[in-house]
Structure 1
Amino acid sequence: MELRDIEIFLALAEELHFGRTAERLHITPSRVSHAIKKQERRIGAPLFERTSRTVRLTALGQQLCDDLLPARLQIQQAIDRAVAGARGITGPLRVGYSTPWCADLVLRAAEVLRSRHAGCTVQILEIQFDDPLGPLRRGELDVQVSEFPVREPGITSGPVLLSEPRALMVPAGHALARRSSVSLEDLAAAPLITPRGTFPKSLLDFHLPTHTPSGRPVPRGPVYTFWPETTAMVAAGLGVSVVAVRAAQYHDRPGIAFVPFRDGPALDYGVLWPSNGPSAAVTALVDLMCELADEKP
């Protein structure tokens, strides 16, 4: 049995429809039918039961399918390893993330990458807000997924992976916590908690404005080094913080509330890498993250 005929058989076993199988393999339905009939003549028994309405595997066909699937997987893995070696998708890949939802996406993509390219290992590191681009600049990371926009020399911005509506994290007893939504103008009503350290200007201007759209000053609150400090400060009534709406799923705790913004742009999270160019492994990981980010929940 030729490899192409095996591929046709396994595809039909999954689709159980000659037309869909032909479309999937970019061949004609008659080519599918011819290949199956040839296999059945060689084996000496039907592999599929066909009616005008349905296609089903026979017991023998199911047995053949079960026996062939591990072999196909082994062949595909061997091909993937060869492709990975040729493209340089080997060795350790160091990936950073800034939020739990970015971490979820990175971890899913890393698992798929490792399954396809056995020679590639993925090391994942959380980025701290006091030095959000430092690990990438120092060569400690190959790529990271974090807040946009970033317009910094030596760093290239790749595709946006996630676009999240904003919310304001406020003390549970604050007047804003009783509202169904807030406005960017409400940033003048409470101190804004800010990160300590070297935060890029493009990120500061977008995420931590000094003035509201009408020009009212946004008061500054205490500073933090690590994100968990922020929720504690908010719960203590020391200030507020602009977050993604989904932060409520990850960071909710007694003493705080999350109120969605009714205006202002979304918070984008995308891929960053050094401007000397992404490696083949980085490109493969980014492609996977784009695919996974586009999948419907």
Structure 2
Amino acid sequence: MELRDIEIFLTLADELHFGRTAERLNVSQARVSQAIAKQERRMGTVLFERTSRQVSLTPVGARLRDDLRQGYELIQSGLALASRSTSTPNGVLTLATMGAVGHHMRPVVDAFVARHPTCSVEPREFHFSDPFGRLRRGEVDVQVTWLPVSEPDVRVGPRVLTEGRVLAVPSSHPLATEGEVSIEVLGDEMVFDIGAEAPGYWEQAMLPRRTPAGRPVIRGHGVRTFHEVLTRVAAGDGVTPLNAHVCRYYTMPGVTYVPITDVPDTEWALIWLAERETPEIRAFADTARSLGPRAF
């Protein structure tokens, strides 16, 4: 069945009227009748019951409608995306970040809009407990995430930010008076469980399962958002490594941040779904790449 014939069939299945179908598709009514008759001959069965007063789907026609609709919509979506992929950046780009990271993306956003005046950027937020969910649900176009990212459907773009790390501890904790700490201290403490949505390798980059000496790092209370983390730390329920920008943006009674000296810097990069790459995403990534990574 040719794509145009599928379109005629599905439109008639919606309208149940040959004249309205022809008008909607800008073809002659004879063309609609010919297309349906051709498919009925090919299938050896009737798809529509016609009377002088009404048109209705037969059971076979209804089943064919349901089977064809999903495939047709996927084809149309793919064609639209292919068309966009060769066009000039134009429209709204949604950018997801975690908390204050969005503020530090301002230079990239401003440069992107200056280069592409017909584009705009809408901010969104995501949580570490579900690092790729909003991308995969199509709620955002691109996001800024700490590395590494190793997802088969996700494309990793340019690095945009770098920073050190700190250990968040209760202010009453003995470590709160230290000038710095080693990541090895996690072997003596309770940390938090961020849930099953975050891949193990990605969580491991920030919150290891074992210390460098091989001691297990025990998980305790579950947390799903950054403010839940701070509340738990202030209550004395555990400690956790965090990115160092929290010292600048997030002060909370009962929480002290101590620099961690023996971990690599966190690198933040742009990521997006490979199958949903658009001219806007490519242009935004090119802008970020030209500016290079910046320290918090």
Normalised to the residue count of structure 2, the TM-score between the two structures is: 0.66
1:202-213 aligned at under 5 Å gives the runs 202-213=201-212
1:222 touches 1:238 (CA, 8 Å); kept in 2? Answer: yes
1:178 is the counterpart of 2:177: yes
Provide the residue aligned with 1:93 in structure 2.
93
Change in CA separation of 1:267 and 1:294 when aligned onto 2, cut-off 3 Å: closer
1:105 touches 1:293 (CA, 8 Å); kept in 2? Answer: no
Provide the residue aligned with 1:123 in structure 2.
122
For structure 2, the residue ranges without an aligned partner over 5 or more in a row are: 1-85
Provide the residue aligned with 1:191 in structure 2.
190
1:201 is the counterpart of 2:200: yes
Q: Secondary structure at the match of 1:276?
A: helix
Q: Displacement, 1:240? A: 0.8
For each residue in 1:203-257, what CA deviation from the matched residue of structure 2 results, as whole angstroms up to 9, or x when unmatched?
1222221111111111112111221111111111111111112211111111111
For each residue in 1:4-36, what CA deviation from the matched residue of structure 2 results, as whole angstroms up to 9, or x when unmatched?
xxxxxxxxxxxxxxxxxxxxxxxxxxxxxxxxx
Provide the residue aligned with 2:54 in structure 1.
none
For each residue in 1:240-288, what CA deviation from the matched residue of structure 2 results, as whole angstroms up to 9, or x when unmatched?
1111122111111111111111102111111111123632211222233
How far apart, in 2, do the equivalents of 1:98 and 1:200 lie? 17
> Aligned AA for 1:247?
V
Provide the residue aligned with 2:223 in structure 1.
224
2:163 touches 2:295 (CA, 8 Å); kept in 1? Answer: no
How far apart, in 2, do the equivalents of 1:232 and 1:165 lie? 22
How far apart, in 1, do the equivalents of 2:204 and 2:106 lie? 30
Q: Quick one: percent identity of the two aligned structures?
A: 32
Provide the residue aligned with 2:106 in structure 1.
107
Provide the residue aligned with 1:250 in structure 2.
249
Normalised to the residue count of structure 1, the TM-score between the two structures is: 0.66
1:105 touches 1:289 (CA, 8 Å); kept in 2? Answer: no
How far apart, in 2, do the equivalents of 1:197 and 1:251 lie? 26
> Aligned AA for 1:92?
V
> Aligned AA for 1:205?
Q
Change in CA separation of 1:144 and 1:130 when aligned onto 2, cut-off 3 Å: same
For each residue in 1:135-179, what CA deviation from the matched residue of structure 2 results, as whole angstroms up to 9, or x when unmatched?
111222211101111111101112222121111011111111111
Change in CA separation of 1:130 and 1:115 when aligned onto 2, cut-off 3 Å: same
Provide the residue aligned with 1:149 in structure 2.
148
2:166 touches 2:243 (CA, 8 Å); kept in 1? Answer: yes
How far apart, in 1, do the equivalents of 2:190 and 2:295 lie? 37
1:188 touches 1:219 (CA, 8 Å); kept in 2? Answer: yes
Provide the residue aligned with 1:134 in structure 2.
133
For structure 1, the residue ranges without an aligned partner over 5 or more in a row are: 1-85
Which protein is bigger by CA-based radius of gyration?
2
How far apart, in 2, do the equivalents of 1:245 and 1:295 lie? 14
How far apart, in 2, do the equivalents of 1:177 and 1:131 lie? 30
1:256-267 aligned at under 5 Å gives the runs 256-267=255-266
Q: Which portions of structure 1, spanning 4 or more consecutive aligned residues, are displaced by more than 3 angstroms?
A: 290-297
1:181 touches 1:260 (CA, 8 Å); kept in 2? Answer: yes
1:91 touches 1:119 (CA, 8 Å); kept in 2? Answer: yes
Change in CA separation of 1:248 and 1:137 when aligned onto 2, cut-off 3 Å: same
Q: Secondary structure at the match of 2:105?
A: helix
How far apart, in 1, do the equivalents of 2:204 and 2:166 lie? 17
Q: Displacement, 1:292? A: 4.4
1:15-54 aligned at under 5 Å gives the runs none
Provide the residue aligned with 1:164 in structure 2.
163
Change in CA separation of 1:153 and 1:181 when aligned onto 2, cut-off 3 Å: same
Change in CA separation of 1:104 and 1:291 when aligned onto 2, cut-off 3 Å: farther
